[in-house]
Structure 1
Amino acid sequence: MLDFTKCSVEQLMEEKQLLEKKYADYVGQKLKLDMSRGKPASTQLDLNNDILSTLETYITEDGTDARNYGVLDGLSEAKKLFSELLNIAPANMIIGGNSSLNLMYDAMTRLFLFGTEGERPWCQLDQVKFLCPSPGYDRHFAICEDLGIEMITVPMHEDGPDMDYIESLVKEDASIKGIWCVPLYSNPQGICYSDEVVERLASMKTAAKDFRIFWDNAYGVHHIYDEVKLKDIFEAARAAGNENRVYYFFSTSKITFPGAGVALIASSLSNIAEIKKHMSIQTIGHDKLNQLRTVNYFKNAEGIRTHMKKLGNELRPKFEIVLNTLEKELAGTGLLSWTKPQGGYFVAVDTLPGCAKETVRLAKEAGVVLTGAGATFPYQNDPQDRNIRIAPTYPTVEELQKAMELFCVCVKLAGVNRLLIENQ
């Protein structure tokens, strides 16, 4: 494979002409493909259609009528299901509506308005900062931006966020109030936090007494290849005497139906009591019929695991299209590096510095919409303009193959143009 970074200007000009012709051919095909978000394809959603007919009764195990008001923190059978799946005690969780993102936003705003453990509400402080391992999830960053929280970018390593950097910051600065974490198959790189990283997050010394870890385990059961085990953050936090430090989030949005799943927040008993106090003013209870439908459909944790194997079989060919195409077209070119996730929903790639926005622009003009360059960093500012999140789930396999072939042409064209500018 030709290493473009070692080519002469004359060779680069020749490659540029060939690539421009290929690119023009794709533009002429008038493609309309969307890879901008991690949306399930209809074939993936079809795996769940039976859930719509599982509500044989609306009376719960304890005799509650699920059609009516009440049960603020969720049905006991729903708690039992997720307790078995996630190894979290039922008393430590609240079953919410369909959206874990909603629960995260609510958790953040409660801290802002009311504080926690007797500490001052964050809205009364001169400055509030949050640690944002990056590349990361754009919707996490949007919550901070919406509330005026200053975001601090933290580099990611192969085993999780840079803990040396994190520990050096939090021990000195009391205005740093928390950190976002997607600990298993992180969005977008697919990184899995090591046991050491989990332990250090749980036990590190923080200047802020009310420092909180927002533990978004969105892909905790989304294994595509071999299952990766994640160390229990609650166990580690209890052992370190920091049991109130963690807010844990999970949902079935990408397990069953986005917009019609079941979400939960879990934390210490003290935190749960605090949340329920404010939550009782906010709502009388969430959709218990949907909770009951979900329980009836999966039956138990093994039912979810069996379903996730089917889902893995559905997604694996798409991830392999992405990885195989990148390997075939770009390995050894010096123009792109990429992750090889074992699960989750995304593949992250890094172009040459200064080429991500141009690659995304070229793809869009040829009919393939990607996640915006910079979206995986706070304030949508990728300092090197190189990271792109690839979301392979929504297109058909045929569409995805076409989109990835075009993507590789765009990476090459953007890279060659950048190298020519640098060699002027």
Structure 2
Amino acid sequence: MTALAELSSAELRELHSQLAAEYDALVNRGLSLDITRGKPSPEQLDLSNELLSLPGDDDFRDESGADLRNYANPKGLPELRSIFSEVLKVPVPQLLALGNSSLTVMHDVVVHALLHGLPESERPWSREDTISFLCPVPGYDRHFTITEHLGIRMIPVAMTDEGPDIAEVERLLAEDPTIRGMWCVPVHSNPSGAIYSEAVARALVSLPAAPDFRIFWDNAYAVHHLTDDVPEPIDILSLAAEAGNPDRVFVFASTSKVTFAGAGVAFFGSSPENVSWYLSHAAAQSIGPDKINQLRHVRFLKDAAGLEEHMRRHRELVAPKFEAVSEVFERRLKPYDAGTWTTPSGGYFVSLDVHGGCAERAIALAAQAGIAVTPAGSTYPYKKDPRDANIRIAPTMPPLSELVEALEGLCTAILLAETERLLAA
């Protein structure tokens, strides 16, 4: 086949006619398929059903003998923090095990900074004229939702295969003193799957910035690998300390895609001073986390080796779906040079870039055919993709047969949208 851009007008019209007929047939099938969100499949959730019977009726004490049904221990169970300490590269004393949602913790940290300021802040962030965050793009829509909801200005920064464009980050930090934060997903980044290099991490903790500048290091996919090529975890807190900026990084993670979505455990790690700062404000909000849920996770996962084995079972279920994404796109899009996509080694997403100006139209066509895809622009601040090109693919939730069906239909919609645009040019 020939790339769409190289076809003559007559060839484009002929192809458009074929695609329109294919699309009409797709619409007539009355599909109802959904690849919008990165949710675990029912089969993945089944892997953790043992949690529902843990702990036993009279087995509610931790290793110290404390009765976990009662108040106390705002830092969370040391046993659970120990399991996740190595993979997150946060010392147990500096790692908190909290409620069920890391997104909630991120939101609360921003709110605390707005209301009270950080240890180095001259005043609460809310008393500044403007507070800005750097936002690597394409990026995680829920990060952007937090900052937009709280009135924080967002500045896009281009992503590379090794993390955000450091030259761009350095320039922006030098030019704009309002920048106080930066979102980062360092391992299997959402949605591109990029893995931050140590060089990028060292630069991020070393660049000159406002004293209360913070990197929100959301290690959401630290254990979600799809291949045997597992990246070595970056000890970002040690790198920050070596650079003379020990308080620069907030580390977040959760078990939401490890065990039960929405019923897991969130983690927060940072320097001792930042941990004390967080606990001082969290004490006004909660007497302590759900330690019974933490205990059942300890009993279920047992240790770091148990966590690794559990995630291997996740991989067996998820990896074939990512392989299917590549197979369909190679077969349907590549012959026409109709898009480029990532082949991540972990995480929950594939980032697809179609011809500029076609993503929104392709997603609308897919929706009319009963195929729900993440809305265009979602991977950019304010939902504004300047090229209207990026589409986030979330392959984990549907059964493999439904996923392939949705991808085939989406490819038809993409090709139809791109031929329409070329004919209108």
* TM category, shorter: over 0.9
Report what 1:79 is aligned to: 81
Deviates further, 230-239 or 362-371: 230-239
Give the conservation status (yes or no) of the 8 Å contact 2:34–2:406: no
Q: CA deviation at 1:317?
A: 0.6
Structure 1 residues not aligned, in runs of 5+:
none
Given candidates 237, 243, 256, the residue that maps to 2:240 is: 237
> 1:13 maps to which residue?
13
Q: Which residue is equivalent to 1:227? A: 230
Q: Which residue of 2 is the match for residue 384 of structure 1?
A: 387
Task: Tell me what 1:274 maps to.
Answer: 277
Deviations 1:170-221 (A, max 9, x none): 1332210010000111100101111110110011111x11000000000011
Distance in 2 (alpha carbons) for counterparts of 1:233 and 1:416: 46
Q: Tell whether the 8 Å contact from 1:192 to 1:230 is kept in structure 2 after alignment.
A: no
Task: Note the C-alpha offset of 1:117.
Answer: 1.4
Q: CA deviation at 1:118?
A: 4.3
Secondary structure, aligned partner of 1:265: strand
Match of 1:411 in 2: 414
Three-state SS of the structure 2 residue aligned to 1:384 is coil
Which of 113, 117, 120 aligns to 2:119? It is 117
Map 1:54-93 onto structure 2 (within 5 A).
54-56=54-56, 57-93=59-95
The residue correspondences of 1:10-49 to structure 2 (distance < 5 A) are 10-49=10-49
2:104 pairs with 102, 105, 108, which one?
102
Query: Are 1:248 and 2:251 matched, yes or no?
Result: yes
What are the superposed Cα offsets for residues 256-306 of structure 1, whole Å, 9 maximum, x if unpaired? Answer: 011101111000000001111111111001111100000000100110111
Q: Which amino acid aligns with 1:246?
A: V
Shift of 1:71: 1.2
Amino acid at match of 1:171: A
> Distance between the aligned counterparts of 1:197 and 1:49, measured in 2?
39
Kindly indicate whether the alpha-carbon contact (under 8 Å) linking 2:191 and 2:351 is maintained by their aligned counterparts in 1: yes
Secondary structure of 1:171's partner?
A: helix
The total of aligned residue pairs comes to 421
Residues 1:395 and 2:398 aligned together = yes
Instruction: Check 1:84–1:191 CA distance in 2 against 1; reply closer, same or farther (3 A cut).
Output: closer
**Other structure's SS at 2:283 match:** helix
**4+ residue runs over 6 A deviation:** none
CA distance in 2, matches of 1:103, 1:157: 27
Task: Name the aligned partner's letter for residue 299 of structure 2.
Answer: N
Within 5 Å, which residues of 2 pair with 1:129-148? 129-148=132-151
User: Within 1, Cα distance between the matches of 2:82 and 2:332?
Assistant: 48
Give the % identical residues: 46
Cα RMSD of the aligned pairs, angstroms, is: 1.0
Equivalent position of 1:368 in the other structure: 371
Residue range with higher mean Cα deviation, 360-369 or 113-122 = 113-122
Distance 2:336 2:151 in 1: 42
| CA contact 1:84–1:300 (8 Å) conserved in 2 | no
The one-letter code matched in structure 2 to 1:159 is: E
Query: Structure 2: which 5+ residue stretches go unaligned?
Result: none
TM-score (norm 2): 0.98
Contact 1:195 1:230 in 2 (8 A): no
SS in 2 for 1:201: helix
The question of 1:347 aligning with 2:350 is answered: yes
Helix, strand or coil: the match of 2:67? Answer: coil
1:4 shift after superposition:
0.9
Deviation of 1:231 after TM superposition, in Å, equals: 2.3
Letter in 1 for 2:266: A
Cα distance in structure 2, aligned partners of 1:85 and 1:352: 38
Q: Taking structure 1 as the reference length, what is the TM-score of the superposition? A: 0.98
